Amino acid sequence: MIDRLRSLLRPLVVPLWLAAGLGAAVAQPAAPSAPVAPATVSSGMAPRVLACVTCHGKEGRATQEGYFPRIAGKPAGYLANQLLNFREGRRSYPQMTSLIEHLTDDYLREMAAHFAALDLPYPPPPAPQAPPATLERGRLLVQQGDAARNIPACVQCHGPAMTGVNPFIPGLLGLPRDYLNSQLGAWKTGQRRAHAPDCMADIARQLTPDDVSAVSAWLAAQPVPGGGKPAASLAGTMPMRCGGVDGVPVAGR
């Protein structure tokens, strides 16, 4: 199955590399601190990302019923960072790594730009999957955090609408509860990592299993405002410095 999916990418990738004068199918690792510049969207990219939509759904829009996250309309820098993280082992999902392990930085950025440019509606959220007390606990953590435990509010980084901030910070709405649960768990256990300083890992380690369940349940039950479009900038400052997020002011810095 993986070989078939990989074949959807590679036959059309090679002409792109040759046209760009790259002349090689081996990816060059990016420096950890290098910013991820937005790439231009190729009008011919759609047929070259068929392997992606096999799991992420038509046009990368996914659904709330599945496990795989929506990638359509996510910030380009965030998507590019995640592709690089999969390729370089900071995120662990063998099927993803196998598909992109030989793709260049520029090609991964072009894929990211393609999905980021898609403007597609979000479906209504599913019915809440937790009791009211759990949902309220999740809402408080998302909107207010817990200063006593050094847990910032999610909205401090992901924006008051929770739709993310261009170009590097993702939205947290419109994602399946199981996916949100698993990713927070992966941050806690070190299975998912980012460039240092890994702020999400630091935050996730402060969350209890009940916290994770509450946050995931509340987020998954919220409608997505404004078509899910990321904000152009963060209105305030981030509570801490995060690797892979450039150009956003940090409190106290």
Helix H, strand E, coil C: the string for 58-122 is HHHCCCCCCCCCCCCCCCHHHHHHHHHHHHHCCECCHHHHHHHCCCCHHHHHHHHHHHHCCCCCC
242 appears as a binding residue in the annotation: no
Give the CATH number of the domain where residue 6 resides. Answer: 1.10.760.10
Whether 85 and 187 map to the same domain: the answer is: no
Whether 158 and 95 map to the same domain: the answer is: no
- Give residue 65's pLDDT: 73
200 appears as a binding residue in the annotation: yes
Whether 11 and 109 map to the same domain: the answer is: yes
Nearest to residue 179, comparing CAs of 63, 57, 99? Answer: 63
55 appears as a binding residue in the annotation: yes
56 appears as a binding residue in the annotation: yes
- Give residue 3's pLDDT: 61
- Give residue 31's pLDDT: 41
Nearest to residue 125, comparing CAs of 49, 41, 63, 207? Answer: 63
What dihedral do alpha carbons 235, 239, 241, 242 form, nearest 10°? Answer: -80
Whether 21 and 92 map to the same domain: the answer is: yes
- Give residue 23's pLDDT: 29
158 appears as a binding residue in the annotation: yes
- Give residue 136's pLDDT: 98
What dihedral do alpha carbons 58, 62, 46, 80 form, nearest 10°? Answer: -170
199 appears as a binding residue in the annotation: no
Whether 15 and 106 map to the same domain: the answer is: yes
What dihedral do alpha carbons 119, 120, 122, 123 form, nearest 10°? Answer: 170
How far apart CA 135 and CA 121 sit, in angstroms, is 25
How far apart CA 217 and CA 73 sit, in angstroms, is 22
- Give residue 4's pLDDT: 56
Q: Domain of 212? A: 132-228
List, in sequence order, every residue forming a beta bridge with 165; answer none if it has no partner.
Answer: 169, 231
Residue found by looking up tokens 């299993």 in the block: 209
The answer, as to whether pTM is greater than 0.85, is no
- Give residue 246's pLDDT: 87
DSSP collapsed to 3 states, 202-242: HHHCCCCHHHHHHHHHHHHCCCCHHHHCCECCCCCCECCCC
In order along its 253 residues, the chain shows pLDDT tens digits of: 656 556 556 534 333 322 332 223 333 344 444 444 444 445 589 999 999 999 999 999 997 777 899 999 999 999 999 999 999 999 999 999 999 999 999 999 999 999 999 999 999 999 999 999 999 999 999 999 999 999 999 999 999 999 999 999 999 999 999 999 999 999 999 999 999 999 999 999 999 999 999 999 999 999 999 999 999 999 889 999 999 998 888 987 6
Is residue 92 domain-resident? yes
Cα 167 → chain centroid: 11
